[in-house]
Structure 1
């Protein structure tokens, strides 16, 4: 029967050494992951701002190109009266 205790002892003795070597690698991996996540979050925020700006510009263009209407969907009374007077005078 092969000796089991020496293999176990090798594991017990080498575990702290392996831990010391692996810990910086794991820490570096986590740091890199955090940096990548922060960069992705920043890029998503900038893209969201850009899309919001484009949507606001498009809304402003649509509102500027449509004729002004009152709350009930009709032109305000003063503007309608001016247009009626202008048409009658022509």
Structure 2
């Protein structure tokens, strides 16, 4: 995966996830962007994406600051389900 792909995913996963899970005020609805991101995921080597998404999930939901804000394992579960349902990536 190229650095540009990582940047696109890092900058936009949260916004699409927020919108798709009901946070329409803080989320983004952009199907063209979603398609571009799905292509980034599909075209990345599995091992590179696995590392990327593992770090992303840890930073978003499981670092001490995120846990203090109320995030936890249930959010990781929901995010994984979202990846499968909305981003065509099954773990």
TM-score (norm 2): 0.24
Larger of the two Rg values belongs to structure: 1
TM-score by length of 1: 0.24
Specify which structure has the higher proportion of helix: 1
